[in-house]
């Protein structure tokens, strides 16, 4: 049994063990890259060894910075209110090479605070801005672990609800890309997420994943206390990412349209299914078949939360959106599937 599977079963020491394993392999890979750079430089004189070394040295300070940033965000969250079903939310923009994932996560944060009155919101955003003019924790496995377990300490883990929104690229092998070189180069598989949530001990979970092949996460995460919605079936890509895109199909249909129509997450998903199907037909794309699994217990818990919640105002999406209902004949890029 490999280390990741062993951790997912709860047989090892949590974040510390996973961090050590990931740090070991990350440092080993970086060391190999540095050695390759030195050898290549000696031959071709086209690569600067100092630049390669500096790139390696940049990684650990960011990881240390992020640990502090996540801790500060968690510390600033209000504690749960006894007798009230509080909603806590975490947004994750996993790929720093395209702004579309940052866009959706920033919008998710605003929507949760303004319309859903979330008790607390934490975001992990892999994007150049996060290591520049707008410092934020990146979307690494360690930061996700710290965010989820940190939020759990603020919640009543039996009464309150966690909403987790992940937007990024996904693979045929059901791996979500946590990618922002040189700082983050990792993947998130179903057992990783299952382990984090089990370790946190949060009972009531709503999970939405905007990524290709994300339906592959459902079998390992579904249970009576979980609502999980995915942008695609386990064997299908989803659409709307790309360098020129401002929102994925799922993000636009569920976040922007659906959740401004209703605060019922499952009803918003049903709206998204119809909209995505229509857009894909207009574009001539193979259907992505968004998937959902809703347990009976979480359905009742969400109904109780809605009964006590008065929605705030709708929230406009701050980035321009293409007219998907009237696509241009040769428009490309924005509807490209994730790799």
For residue range 102-118, what is the model confidence (pLDDT) as tens digits? 999 999 999 999 999 99
Q: Report the pLDDT averaged over residues 301-315.
A: 98
Dihedral sign, Cα of residue 326, residue 243, residue 236, residue 8: negative
Q: Which runs of E-coded beta strand occur in 145-224?
A: 161-167, 176-180, 184-188, 204-210
Do residues 159 and 85 make contact, with C-beta atoms less than 8 angstroms apart? yes
Neighbouring-strand partners of residue 164:
90, 207
When computed from its CA atoms, the radius of gyration of the chain, rounded to whole angstroms, is 20
Residue 330 confidence class, pLDDT cut points 50, 70, 90: low
| Cβ burial, residue 137 (10 Å; 0-12/13-18/19+) | buried
CATH number of the structural domain 60-337: 3.40.50.1460
291: left (phi over 0), alpha (psi -120 to 50) or beta: beta
- Which tokens hold the place of 199? 């370790």
Whole-number pLDDT of residue 297: 99
- Which tokens hold the place of 103? 């866009």
Who wins on pLDDT, 19 or 302? 302
For residue range 8-52, what is the model confidence (pLDDT) as tens digits? 334 334 444 444 344 444 444 444 444 444 334 333 334 444 444
- Which tokens hold the place of 175? 């791996």
Residue 60 confidence class, pLDDT cut points 50, 70, 90: confident
Whole-number pLDDT of residue 337: 52
- State how far the alpha carbon of 52 is from the alpha carbons of 56, 64, 331, in Å: 6, 20, 39
Q: Which residues, 6+ apart, have CB-to-CB distance to 268 below 8 Å? A: 254, 257, 258, 259, 261, 262
Work out the angle between the directed axes of helices 49-75 and 141-154 (0-180°, nearest 10). Answer: 10
Domain boundaries, the chain: 60-337
Specify the pTM: 0.83
Do residues 39 and 112 make contact, with C-beta atoms less than 8 angstroms apart? no
- Which tokens hold the place of 285? 């794309």
190: left (phi over 0), alpha (psi -120 to 50) or beta: alpha
Residue 58 confidence class, pLDDT cut points 50, 70, 90: low
- Whether 56 shows a pLDDT value over 80: the answer reads no
- Whether 80 shows a pLDDT value over 70: the answer reads yes
Mean of the per-residue pLDDT values of the chain = 86
């Amino acid at each position: 049994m490999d280390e990741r599977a062993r951790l997912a079963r709860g047989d090892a020491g949590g974040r510390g063990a996973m961090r050590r394993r990931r740090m070991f392999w990350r440092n080993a890979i970086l060391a190999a890259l540095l050695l390759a750079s030195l050898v290549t430089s000696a031959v071709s004189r086209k690569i600067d060894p100092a630049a390669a070394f500096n790139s390696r040295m940049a990684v650990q300070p960011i990881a240390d910075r992020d640990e502090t940033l996540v801790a500060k965000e968690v510390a600033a969250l209000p504690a749960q209110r006894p007798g009230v079903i509080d909603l806590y939310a975490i947004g994750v923009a996993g790929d720093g090479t395209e702004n579309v994932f940052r866009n959706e996560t920033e919008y998710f944060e605003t929507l949760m605070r303004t319309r859903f009155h979330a008790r607390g919101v934490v975001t992990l955003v892999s994007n150049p801005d996060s290591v520049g003019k707008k410092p934020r924790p990146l979307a690494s496995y360690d930061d996700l672990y710290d965010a989820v377990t940190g939020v759990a300490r603020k919640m009543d883990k039996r009464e309150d609800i966690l909403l987790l929104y992940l937007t990024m690229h996904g693979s045929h092998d059901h791996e979500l890309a946590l990618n922002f070189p040189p700082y983050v180069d990792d993947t998130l598989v179903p057992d990783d997420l299952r382990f984090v949530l089990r370790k946190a001990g949060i009972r009531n979970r709503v999970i939405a994943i905007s990524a290709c092949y994300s339906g592959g996460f459902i079998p390992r995460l579904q249970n009576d206390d979980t609502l999980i919605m995915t942008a695609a079936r386990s064997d299908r890509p989803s659409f709307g990412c790309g360098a020129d895109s401002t929102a994925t199909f799922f993000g636009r249909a569920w976040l922007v349209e659906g959740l401004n129509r209703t605060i019922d997450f499952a009803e918003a998903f049903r709206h998204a299914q119809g909209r995505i199907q229509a857009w894909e037909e207009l574009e001539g794309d193979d259907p992505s078949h968004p998937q959902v699994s809703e347990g009976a217990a979480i359905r009742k818990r969400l109904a109780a939360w809605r009964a006590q919640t008065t929605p705030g105002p709708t929230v406009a999406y701050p980035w321009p959106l293409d007219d998907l209902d009237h696509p241009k004949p040769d428009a490309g890029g924005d509807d490209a599937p994730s790799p």
